[in-house]
């Protein structure tokens, strides 16, 4: 059976389906030596190239889906390369023998917390798509006067420049003076949506941390800037949530365990080394 070209490229780890649609539209993909167009379908035995580089295609059943949980720090860009030389979320990720890590959505530079990466572009696309209603939960610190009427407006929905939006749930978590912490839940990932919802009520967001994606929470032992690979149970939770076939294999040798102390120390050392290398690079660029 034929499949859409962007779907095949996404499954091959070249990017999310949305990213591949843009690449095809830009004329960067060829099939059997001819420029491909958006809407083209392939059988899977063609010679496909992206920017002149051959794409290794494997049947879906031969690929092992991998997912990383990353604890993003503030100050990192959700892009592969930044023209200004700022650190990116891809800088610390483990190398792959084939394919590449694909970010499941984005967090803006001033937002920290849970960010998922996968080798399966189709999974990334479905987890991001609002039709699957995958919840995202954020811890948010706001500055300003907040009353019950405001919270009710945010639950009922307010009009933003790109359409109506609302929080599915708002839970008060304490605070002092004009600084208050809330946990809020959304099931879509529009650009800066949490910040824009609060700002629509003339309240300023001073901290924003993603703490949950779907049913999985950010692991407490995972240090800022650290990552861990999810075991088979958690990988299949996400696959089932978006109606993809379950996996039977995993690259994680010991599944379903929280990060132990030894691994935690290794992650912290790796994070510290990365930070030192980045500082050295910044100093060299300034000279």
Tell me the catalytic residues: 108
CA distance 174 to 102: 36
Q: Using CB atoms within 10 Å of the CB of residue 143, give its burial: 0 to 12 exposed, 13 to 18 middle, 19+ buried.
A: middle
- Answer whether 124's CB lies under 8 Å from 10's CB: yes
Cβ atoms of 213 and 134 closer than 8 Å: yes
Q: Which of 73, 72, 117 is nearest to 96 (CA)?
A: 117
Angle (nearest 5°) at CA 172 between 133 and 69: 45
Residue pair 198/204 in contact (Cβ under 8 Å)? The answer is yes
Length of the chain counted residue by residue = 287
What residues pair up with 169 in beta bridges, in sequence order? 185
Q: How far apart are CA 105 and CA 126, in angstroms?
A: 11
């Amino acid at each position: 059976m034929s499949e859409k070209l962007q779907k095949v490229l996404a499954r091959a780890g070249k990017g999310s389906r949305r990213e591949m649609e843009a690449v095809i539209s830009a004329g960067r993909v060829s099939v059997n030596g001819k420029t491909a167009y958006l809407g083209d379908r392939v059988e899977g035995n063609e010679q496909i190239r992206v920017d002149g580089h051959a794409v290794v295609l494997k049947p879906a059943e031969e690929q092992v889906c991998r997912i990383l949980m990353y604890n993003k720090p503030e100050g990192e860009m959700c892009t592969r390369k930044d023209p200004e030389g700022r650190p990116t979320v891809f800088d610390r990720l483990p190398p792959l023998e084939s394919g590449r890590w694909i970010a499941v959505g984005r967090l803006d530079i001033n937002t920290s917390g849970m960010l998922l990466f996968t080798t399966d572009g189709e999974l990334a696309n479905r987890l991001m798509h609002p039709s699957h209603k995958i919840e995202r939960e954020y811890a948010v610190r706001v500055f300003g006067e907040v009353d019950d009427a405001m919270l009710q407006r945010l639950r009922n929905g307010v009009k933003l420049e790109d359409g109506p939006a609302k929080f599915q749930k708002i839970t008060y978590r304490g605070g002092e003076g004009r600084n208050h912490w809330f946990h809020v839940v959304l099931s879509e990932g529009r650009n800066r949506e949490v910040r824009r919802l609060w700002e629509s009520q003339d309240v300023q967001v001073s901290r924003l941390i993603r703490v949950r994606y779907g049913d999985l929470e950010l692991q407490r032992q995972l240090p800022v800037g650290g990552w861990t690979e999810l075991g088979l149970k958690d990988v299949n939770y996400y696959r089932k949530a978006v109606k993809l076939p379950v996996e039977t294999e995993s690259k994680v040798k010991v599944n379903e365990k929280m990060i132990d102390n030894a691994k935690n120390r290794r992650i912290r050392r790796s994070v510290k080394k990365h930070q030192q290398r980045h500082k050295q690079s910044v100093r060299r660029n300034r000279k």
